[in-house]
Amino acid sequence: MTKWEASSPSWHKLNFDGAVHNNWQAGGGVIRDHQGFLIVAYAGSLRNHTINQVEGMAVLWEMKFAIAICIKQLEIEGDSNIIVEAFSGRSVAGWKVEVILRDVRMLLANLDSFTICHIYREGNAVADSMAAFGMLQDGLRCWRNVHLLSVVTKEILERESLSANNV
């Protein structure tokens, strides 16, 4: 899939991404409702992690938010095929990543239903912009108000939400 699509009614969609630039690493993403409206966005910086660890941490952070706000049905999408394949058991991402994914799997047990799939970078633009925004953060931050996000992220959210509601 190259275009972001909203989840089914009564489901939420979690998009995650990681970014690495020089010695800085960051993760970020969003959870949206079935109409594409923001539930929570987050971004955070890390140090001394590989891109796969950062992608895994992005999912872990976001899963903690999803559980905290009592989401029960969740579609998870990311542009890291390695992370998606590791979740499904079709590949191994290395022990440092597997430790992170083990924690994510424990959190997934709190959900009634979930799916996880790969989405191409073009369809993961909001998560990508949040991961880039994570480079500017000192630690982890979350937002529940779309008006507090960067202009780029707001524009992408609005465009994708309009597209999802005009289908």
CATH superfamily of this structure's domain 12-157: Ribonuclease H-like superfamily/Ribonuclease H (3.30.420.10)
Domain locations along the chain: 12-157
pTM (two decimals): 0.93
Rounded distance, CA 29 to CA 60, Å?
A: 11
Measure CA 53 to chain center. Answer: 14
Residue ranges in the chain whose pLDDT is less than 50: none
The pLDDT assigned to 13 comes to: 97
- Residue 146 vs residues 30, 75, 85, 118, 155: alpha-carbon distances, Å: 11, 21, 31, 25, 10
The pLDDT assigned to 167 comes to: 56
Rounded distance, CA 73 to CA 113, Å?
A: 5
Rounded distance, CA 9 to CA 19, Å?
A: 31
